[in-house]
Structure 1
Amino acid sequence: MICDSYFWLIGLLLGSFLNVVAIRLLKKESIAFPPSNCPNCHHRLSVLDLVPVFSYLFLKGKCRYCKAKISPLYPVGELVTASSLFLVYKVVGVQLELLPAIILTTVLVLAVLTDIREKLILDVITLPAIAILLITRLFIGSEPFWFYVVGGAVGFVLLLLIAIVSRGGMGGGDIKLYAAIGLVLGPWMTLLSFMVASFLGAVVGLLLIVTGVVKRKQPIAFGPFIFIGTLIAYLFGYDVWNWYVSLWQG
């Protein structure tokens, strides 16, 4: 229980950091300097302003100094990071595989945060992730190294072909992100990840169009669906596949 609590706390703190990283990478600013400040009045934030989730609730979603509204993406990002990392920790368990799982989950959260804000998944996120996961898979994995390399190639080529056929319907950031995903999931679960992400994206996109939230052909961020599809495939993929097959077998 104590270990679980620490993991939640670390996840919340990491989520707070990833919020800052996402914003500064989009602005092409240093992630280290200057210290955290209000994006509106640029007043330096104190420790009490930076407590994950609590500060947002305590300040009622407004800057303590200029009263400008704080984006709800901050607490949402913190909670998503903590909950997803905790889920990965509980399902994977304390073993070597937890390392690539945590790396991928962190990269996915960061990609979601930039994609929601600016419809961008940056190379500065995906390319280092590919390199780090490639090295990690040299030493950690239940399958041969080539299996994960094939997974990365499948993820990259699949998204690249869709981008070509759809003439830009898939962004370059999504393509490179799926290369990183494939290095962790392997080829079969990478395909399942994309199937789940596409299904969820289509359903949510249709609902948004029907309710008038977005217009037809208006692009929406695919990152959140990649995030959900990948976690489902990685953590529960074989159960999902067996359930799907059982439906067809009656």
Structure 2
Amino acid sequence: MSIFIAIYVTLLGLMLGSFYNVVALRVPAGESIIHPPSRCSSCGTRLRARDLIPVFSYLFSGGRCRNCSAKLSALYPLGEAATGLLFLWVYLRTGLAGESLVGLALVSLGVIVTISDLKYMRIPNKVLLFFAPLLILLRILVPEYSLWSHMLGALAGGGIILLIIVISGGGMGMGDAKLLALCGLVIGLPNTLLALFIACVLGTLVGGVLMLAGILQRRQPIPFGPWLIIGIFVAYGYGSQIISGYFSLIG
């Protein structure tokens, strides 16, 4: 029975991932997520049912529009595949429980924010405002830690990045602060600090490699949201084990 649930959850993630692509790419551009229907961004041709199969349509078409042969963004299949795999990860971690809803909502927010930040270097307020009451309500109904831990996670997440913005004169964006404040409420303290630490390490390492390779120029801005999301997911799934393991090593 569990294998069928796992397959269903993965397929659900793939389908929702296709919709999350639409949200992530249209909302920051001020476009409706309902109208017009999905279309090629180059020639404007409306996509048919065969063009809307998550991941597989991209692979079967060779990553190009069937009408004008324009190259399609790899963000589409990557967003769909990531959502499907992350939905499966949440199910394997939580099973069928209240925490599953928290995890799926967190993953949904993370996928949308990552695609949006990679494309536009923006974390849309509309997306955060949509997920904020949902995640707050879910965390109140299904607390993982004490209420104080979740509240302190929100304060620490938003406060630390806000402090960095003030000190650095804009080294990060307010979208990052709002994102970590909201997700800090979900994962609690000290997981929020772990998430920020992981994000900073990954962002620094990847940014350094890209500069050495000549792909990224010094002082060229890069989106920090995706690294925050990776840190948040790692802390959400394995924060307690990582922190306990760290203290056991130094204890």
Letter in 2 for 1:123: N
* One-letter code aligned to 2:175: G
SS at match of 1:97: helix
**Percent identity for Structure 1 against Structure 2:** 41
1:246 deviates by 3.8
| Residues in 2 aligned to 1:142 and 1:13: alpha-carbon distance in whole angstroms | 28
Aligned partner of 1:176 in structure 2 is 178
- Matches of 1:127 and 1:55 in 2, distance apart? 32
TM-score when normalising by structure 2: 0.95
Query: Could you tell me which amino acid in structure 1 is paired with residue 170 of structure 2?
Result: G
Q: Is it true that 1:164 corresponds to 2:163 in the alignment?
A: no
Question: What is aligned with 1:72?
Answer: 74
Deviations 1:118-163 (A, max 9, x none): 1111111112222222222221113333432222111111111111
CA distance in structure 2 between the partners assigned to 1:175 and 1:46 by the alignment: 39
2:61 to 40, 59, 68: 59
Amino acid at match of 2:197: M
Q: Which residue of 2 aligns with 1:193?
A: 195
Cα distance in structure 2, aligned partners of 1:179 and 1:97: 19
- SS at 1:187 equivalent: coil
RMSD: 1.3
**In 2, Cα distance between equivalents of 1:92 and 1:135:** 18
Q: Give the aligned partner of residue 44 of structure 1.
A: 46
> Aligned equivalents of 1:5 and 1:135: distance in 2?
28
Post-superposition shift, 1:217? 1.2
CA distance in 2, matches of 1:209, 1:246: 36
- Matching residue within 234, 243, 246 for 2:245: 243
Work out the number of aligned pairs and report it: 249
One-letter amino acid of the counterpart of residue 153, structure 2? G
Instruction: Give the Cα–Cα distance (whole angstroms) in 2 for the partners of residues 150 and 63 of structure 1.
Output: 48
Q: Per-residue CA shift, 1:204-236, capped at 9, x if unaligned?
A: 111111111101111111122111111111101
Render the CA deviation track for 1:23-78: whole Å, top value 9, x for unaligned.
11121111111111111111111010010111111100100111111011111111
Q: Mind listing any 5+ residue stretches in structure 2 that lack a counterpart?
A: none
- For 2:14, the equivalent position in structure 1 comes to 12
Displacement after TM superposition at 1:242 (Å)? 2.5
SS of the residue 2:27 aligns to: helix
Establish whether residue 139 from structure 1 lines up as the match of residue 141 from structure 2.
Answer: yes
Distance of aligned partners of 1:242 and 1:138 in 2 relative to their CA distance in 1, 3 Å threshold:
closer
Q: What is the one-letter code of the residue matched to 1:132? A: L
Q: Partners in 1 of 2:237 and 2:57 — Cα distance?
A: 32
Q: Distance between the aligned counterparts of 2:58 and 2:132, measured in 1?
A: 34
Show the counterpart of 2:108. 106
Deviates more, 1:192-201 or 1:135-144: 135-144
**Separation in 2 of the partners of 1:184 and 1:151?**
8
* Unmatched runs of 5 consecutive residues or more in structure 1: none
In structure 2, what is the Cα distance between the partners aligned to 1:240 and 1:176?
Answer: 25
**Partner letter of residue 147 of structure 2?**
F
Q: Is the 8 A contact 1:23 1:114 kept in 2?
A: yes
State how far apart, in whole Å, the 1-side matches of 2:152 and 2:82 are.
29
Instruction: State the distance in 1 between where 2:24 and 2:14 align.
Output: 15
